[in-house]
Chains A and B, each alone.
Chain A
Amino acid sequence: MTTANVTRSIDARGMPCPGPLMSLIGAIREGTVGDMIEVLSSDEGSKTDIPAWIAKAGHEIVEVVQEPDHARFVIRKVR
């Protein structure tokens, strides 16, 4: 678990697509290099959208944990 290092948490549970991804993009836009951003999403689309965006934008997925009713992504802002 990387909870201790999380600098910003976004609870996007219940938010439909593309809400969770856009919230993450907003946090990356506002953040600084090294930030650890946690996103909680119950939207199935996030499982493909978030990794695809992270790959294109050049950041890093530190952790993905599947909880019973949502997924938890931890992302490091790399640049």
Chain B
Amino acid sequence: MPARVVVLGGGVGGTLAANLLAKQLGRDAKVTVVDPTGMHHYQPGYLYVALGQANGRWLVRDERTLLRREVELVIDGAVRIHPDAGTVQLERGGSLEWDYLVLATGARLMHEQIPGLVEGSFGFYSLDDAQRLREELRRFRGGRILVGVAGIPYKCPPAPVEFVFMLEEHLRKRGIRERSEVTLLSPLNRAFTIEQASKVVQPFMEERGIGLTTFFNVEEVDPQAHVVSSLEGEKAEYDLLVLIPPHHGQQVISDSGLGDVSGWLPTDRYTLQVQDRERVFAMGDATNLPISKSGSTAHFEAPVIASRIASLVRGTAPKTNYGGRVMCFLETGNRKATVLRFDYEHPPTPPQPNLLWHSAKWMFNRMYWETVPQGRIPDLPKAREKGPDDEHADRANA
């Protein structure tokens, strides 16, 4: 009987893991993806939608078209995971049995956690939010724009920085830059979480007249007075407020008693197994790992999970570990970008922003649909990835 593998979530990680598992295990496995909408979003594109540079249609495709023919797609929500019984209960009443479970459930945007955020601010972390922001920006004729982060961790740490750079350029092109102020409200004492990258981008922010308010952890928005307040006791007035909402893990993770207080899955940083669960793996935004929540992270984790499940199914020693590898582009506007490549052991050393990396990001955006979900991206040089199974893997290879 083939091994039953259920993947919860049809985002970048879940889709790639399912395709790789089906390819590697062939008839030895029956792979099923469960996704509540059956539609796959290319989330890095939301930024372009918000700024009127891309159409939302480009960012969404039917998940079925991205999966190998032999992978089954179930369009339904997961409401409860029973790890001991090896089942997942579905929203419409059915349930699925599994031998191996991959949790690629992503993150949940918690707009309602910050009083006044829904009524008083705009965002670009969902397609709907990005489209609303685009309309608001069209009406904008000048004033003070504040861009802030209302909780850490959040997806794609460089995105708010990219947004302020691209917004500044957008206002300039429309001839309203002189009448506008752009300020980034950062919860930290630098532009964003990654220190080395902050050092590279902050001088460019200064050069472009983009303000930076540090240690501003958003606590409340007053939509009538147009004032945002911080936990640190500061208040800032705005004409247009753009906030990244707090993020949590999915409800099904919390309801199943698998997550921490915020619903993130306690995950082994090398094997990607959920704590104390040999046959349950987690990836992407859903984990509690101390690395960026981003599509890139899931992209590099998926082959590790597929390989490890294939080893378990075949009874061979696991050959790969996840070393914390992430690679992401950071747009700085004016047709320039830099790149952040890092892992658990090696912090990023981003180059000065240039046209090459801007072009690389555009090329990646265009190639995504035909390459990433199917595992067609060629492997890039990487840092040595170490883990507790190295010795094990070495022995197996000998």
Chain A residues proximal to chain B, CB less than 8 Å: 15-19, 21-22, 25, 28-29, 45, 49, 52-53, 56-58, 79
In the complex, the answer to whether A21 meets B188 with C-beta atoms within 8 Å is yes
Query: With a CB–CB cut-off of 8 A, which chain A residues contact B215?
Result: 52-53, 56-57
The contact string, 1 if C-beta is below 8 Å from chain A, for chain B 230-244, is 011100000000000
The count of residues in chain B whose C-beta lies closer than 8 Å to any C-beta of chain A is 14
Given the interface contacts A22-B152, A49-B189, A52-B215, does A57 sit within 8 Å of B290 by beta carbon?
A: no
Query: With a CB–CB cut-off of 8 A, which chain A residues contact B188?
Result: 18, 21, 49
Name the interface residues of B184-221: CB closer than 8 Å to any CB of A. 187-189, 193, 195, 215, 217, 219
The residue of chain B having its C-beta at the shortest distance from the C-beta of A15 within the complex is B290
Chain B residues proximal to chain A, CB less than 8 Å: 152-153, 187-189, 193, 195, 215, 217, 219, 231-233, 290
- How many whole Å from A3's CB to the nearest CB in chain B? 23
Query: With a CB–CB cut-off of 8 A, which chain A residues contact B152?
Result: 18, 22
Partner of A25, one of B187, B193, B195, B233: B187
In the complex, the answer to whether A25 meets B217 with C-beta atoms within 8 Å is yes
Closest 3 CB pairs of A and B: A57-B232, A22-B152, A56-B215
In the complex, the answer to whether B217 meets A56 with C-beta atoms within 8 Å is no
In the complex, the answer to whether B290 meets A28 with C-beta atoms within 8 Å is no
The residue of chain A having its C-beta at the shortest distance from the C-beta of B347 within the complex is A16
A-B contact pairs, 20 of them (CB 8 A): A16-B290, A17-B195, A18-B152, A19-B290, A22-B152, A25-B231, A28-B231, A29-B217, A29-B219, A45-B195, A52-B215, A53-B189, A53-B215, A53-B232, A56-B232, A57-B231, A57-B233, A58-B232, A58-B233, A79-B233
Query: With a CB–CB cut-off of 8 A, which chain A residues contact B189?
Result: 49, 52-53
- How many whole Å from B194's CB to the nearest CB in chain A? 9
Given the interface contacts A16-B290, A79-B233, does A22 sit within 8 Å of B195 by beta carbon?
A: no
